[in-house]
Structure 1
């Protein structure tokens, strides 16, 4: 609707006719014209590979302005949440739609503590997997299997079961992830400790006695909490869209999130921070010659890419990267010796931002540029990086699955196609 109350429209003209389509406006002035009747009225569909120009839904959860570098969860700027909130408070905000009161947050945290243990059969299943299997494969398998252990929370039409599945997933994913890591290094699992908060408990289950104590331990917990907040949601990215597509069939929350984990496992989605570390290692092997490396990046004949720069949505600084850079400095300043890769990353950032070749192409540091350096300093192997991403993204997946479930406009996802194969042809007879 316009300010005068009249419905706003756009006109689509094509050979043989025209269609008048509703023009919708979002909270921040974003506009979309609705094409859901186009096939029925005009016999046509839209073609948008990768869906970069297609809104699949209306959502109240996360707002992004890629040109201005803005990210907000439920209206709250990511900078404010990063500096003043906690991961559990952000989980509550994304899933419930509002910030919790102190008593509500305590009750929420207590519920997660009391549900953190794994069922005995699941622990046995995880222990039976090969130690050298990728952690993301195991994580997706374990989450999908939760529906077998908890048949009392698989009905999307029962609000109580949805709430129970939500609690169990949030509570158990860190426990699953920690056990996967412990198995991979041949160490005994560490049970959840109800005296610890959510993030401290995860770090304890993961590293045990190897976890740093005192000031460094507190800094690591703070860093992990912040990184989880920064990864908690990013509207309709590949994995979140996958959760929605699978959930649109009324698949349960466990199966839908498992599908999202598999989507995140794809190297084009969740593996960028590992690729940044590999790039920095490559530069180190070149003797730290940043000019030579950047020349390779600019060479059209070269396959060398500048990892950790640029974003599908952001055409300015990724607002999450600003928060992470300062955190990386705090952590690495407390290392016993300087971190060569971090120093290379700082110098590479400076050179790239001073080079018009990159700035004219809107290539600015994104959330992945310093994340891998931080995880590495904390002791995580690169194979666990995407698992940490999944723990952070879980509340966003859940929020979108629940929002879609509650939306009366939801239909099972069924994209169309433009067929370009052979026309009808006769099947050859057999001799």
Structure 2
């Protein structure tokens, strides 16, 4: 904690801060190249004449970090990213080695439990993972279905709900607590493909249930995570149906690459939700809702699920390679948005982009080249040579994997689902780690973000007849354009109709 400095003592692992408002000096410990934000609460001063009471100056100094650009909210051993050097490691293993030699399920085990599994452990994990919803509209967005389905799934497992079983359900650290936690992890990872496949089949207007009744999704003859997913989506009763091994391998690699990426918006949402000790199904549903977005608004790292979709729509808008120069000039004038380049973390090329390029080549040999590929490559080649983009360090990122998804025949609105299915693994790894951090006391460090109030101070209520009219673009509701029944009702006459 921050404390007045000892003028006689020296400590290299400290930060000395002088508060010029009071003349006091404070020493703040440095641990693992980090200082505790709460240590600054000891640095307080009296309110100055005329200063706003809402600043709460006597209560200690606050730390402002809009967008969490330099704030570490947890200590994690899961994923390491060096954006300056273009490095991504899962539990210490370079992503390039895992993509070449591992599988998605094996990497899932690594992320959640900290080590690569022995053969016996891997077989058991695969077995556990292996071991409803007709009411959605046919035109519902698949990501909306997946989000709802995870939340809906939680209602079936009261054993996983701390609200029903006690708030220390997952935070005791004993064998029973661990076993219950792992059971939910197996279920969520295993059902992620089933729910996503059902969302796809609803989206395609296909039967969700087996024609003979019974199981909602056909039994699959393989333990490969990606192969099972393809089988569940596409098998319509054909005998001895086997997905393409090339597409199976490509999808498994993409799942592995997207399994985790530190505390991006969706992962932070899961941890924020989970810190209130809600059941993991609700926390995962919250992560899906965050991933559903087309932009990562303010948090730490990574790209949201809708970004892949945005790249394809951009390429469709460009149309052909000869239109690329004009498009890039429009980007420079800020008339258009360049998707698929740049990253909040990586200041050089995203290390996953090289793996995706090789994977794309393998897929295109099987499916034929996507008609947008030439446009994408022309855009890539022009952007990396243009000084405007080079100076801004806008290198290609992983969002061009949308070209692979498109070549594999997935509709655009299914791209976020293809992002969410593997990212469930990372969410659960961080959720499990957060639960472990509460052992052995079972206390929940519920995320409560500090704030500082700007603008109006205290104001007294004024009766409606005495208030001044405040007008302006942000100061009052804008007119709503009515159509259909609401428009006809506005134009109709009836008793009690407002005259405003």
Q: TM-score, normalised by structure 1?
A: 0.89
Larger Rg: 2
Distance 1:287 1:349 in 2: 11
SS of 2:34's partner is strand
**TM-superposed deviation, 1:207:** 1.6
Residue 17 of structure 2: aligned partner: 12
1:139 has 2:162 as partner: no
Could you report, residue by residue, the CA deviation over 1:192-247 in whole angstroms, capped at 9, with x for unpaired residues?
42421221111011122599x99981010001000000001001100111111111
Could you report, residue by residue, the CA deviation over 1:19-46 in whole angstroms, capped at 9, with x for unpaired residues?
3222122xxxxx3222223225531211
SS of 2:89's partner is strand
8 Å Cα contact 2:246-2:366 kept in structure 1: no
SS of 1:362's partner is coil
1:276 has 2:295 as partner: no
Match of 1:130 among 137, 141, 151: 137
8 Å Cα contact 2:220-2:231 kept in structure 1: no
1:356 has 2:391 as partner: no
Output aligned runs, 1:30-179, within 5 Å: 31-42=33-44, 43-114=60-131, 123=132, 126-154=133-161, 155-157=169-171, 158-179=177-198
Residue 364 of structure 2: aligned partner: 332
Number of residue pairs matched by the alignment = 406
8 Å Cα contact 2:321-2:379 kept in structure 1: no
8 Å Cα contact 2:227-2:243 kept in structure 1: no
8 Å Cα contact 1:113-1:194 kept in structure 2: no
Residue 264 of structure 1: aligned partner: 291
8 Å Cα contact 1:192-1:201 kept in structure 2: no
Residue 320 of structure 1: aligned partner: 352
Match of 1:182 among 178, 197, 201: 201
8 Å Cα contact 2:80-2:262 kept in structure 1: yes
Runs of at least 5 residues in structure 2 that lack an aligned partner in the other structure: 1-9, 45-59, 162-168, 172-176, 211-216, 296-303, 466-500
- With over 3 angstroms needed to count, the CA separation of the structure-2 counterparts of 1:199 and 1:215, relative to structure 1, is closer
Moved more, 379-388 or 200-209: 200-209
Relative to total residues, which structure has the larger helix share, 1 or 2? 1
Runs of at least 5 residues in structure 1 that lack an aligned partner in the other structure: 26-30, 115-122
- With over 3 angstroms needed to count, the CA separation of the structure-2 counterparts of 1:413 and 1:40, relative to structure 1, is farther
Residue 119 of structure 1: aligned partner: none
Distance 2:241 2:139 in 1: 33
Distance 1:210 1:203 in 2: 14
Moved more, 418-427 or 202-211: 202-211
Could you report, residue by residue, the CA deviation over 1:49-94 in whole angstroms, capped at 9, with x for unpaired residues?
1111111011000000000000000000000000000000000000
Residue 118 of structure 1: aligned partner: none
Distance 2:146 2:447 in 1: 25
- With over 3 angstroms needed to count, the CA separation of the structure-2 counterparts of 1:325 and 1:402, relative to structure 1, is same
Distance 2:18 2:384 in 1: 43
Distance 2:242 2:187 in 1: 31
Could you report, residue by residue, the CA deviation over 1:256-315 in whole angstroms, capped at 9, with x for unpaired residues?
11111111111102211111101111111x674211111111114x1x121100000110
8 Å Cα contact 2:258-2:422 kept in structure 1: yes
8 Å Cα contact 2:231-2:242 kept in structure 1: no
Distance 1:390 1:215 in 2: 24
- With over 3 angstroms needed to count, the CA separation of the structure-2 counterparts of 1:192 and 1:209, relative to structure 1, is closer
Output aligned runs, 1:401-412, within 5 Å: 401-408=431-438, 411-412=445-446
1:366 has 2:397 as partner: yes
1:382 has 2:389 as partner: no
Moved over 6 A (4+): 213-216
Distance 2:419 2:463 in 1: 55
Coordinate RMSD, CA, aligned: 2.2
Match of 2:426 among 396, 408, 414: 396
8 Å Cα contact 2:307-2:339 kept in structure 1: yes
Distance 2:451 2:61 in 1: 11
- With over 3 angstroms needed to count, the CA separation of the structure-2 counterparts of 1:240 and 1:187, relative to structure 1, is same
8 Å Cα contact 1:243-1:260 kept in structure 2: yes
Distance 1:403 1:111 in 2: 20
8 Å Cα contact 1:156-1:252 kept in structure 2: no
**TM-superposed deviation, 1:353:** 0.9
Distance 2:450 2:84 in 1: 30
SS of 2:81's partner is strand
- With over 3 angstroms needed to count, the CA separation of the structure-2 counterparts of 1:259 and 1:214, relative to structure 1, is closer
Distance 2:243 2:375 in 1: 23
Could you report, residue by residue, the CA deviation over 1:301-357 in whole angstroms, capped at 9, with x for unpaired residues?
x1x121100000110010001100111112113335x42201211121111111121
Moved more, 154-163 or 194-203: 154-163
- With over 3 angstroms needed to count, the CA separation of the structure-2 counterparts of 1:386 and 1:366, relative to structure 1, is same
Distance 1:277 1:35 in 2: 42
Residue 199 of structure 1: aligned partner: 226
**TM-superposed deviation, 1:388:** 0.9
SS of 1:37's partner is helix
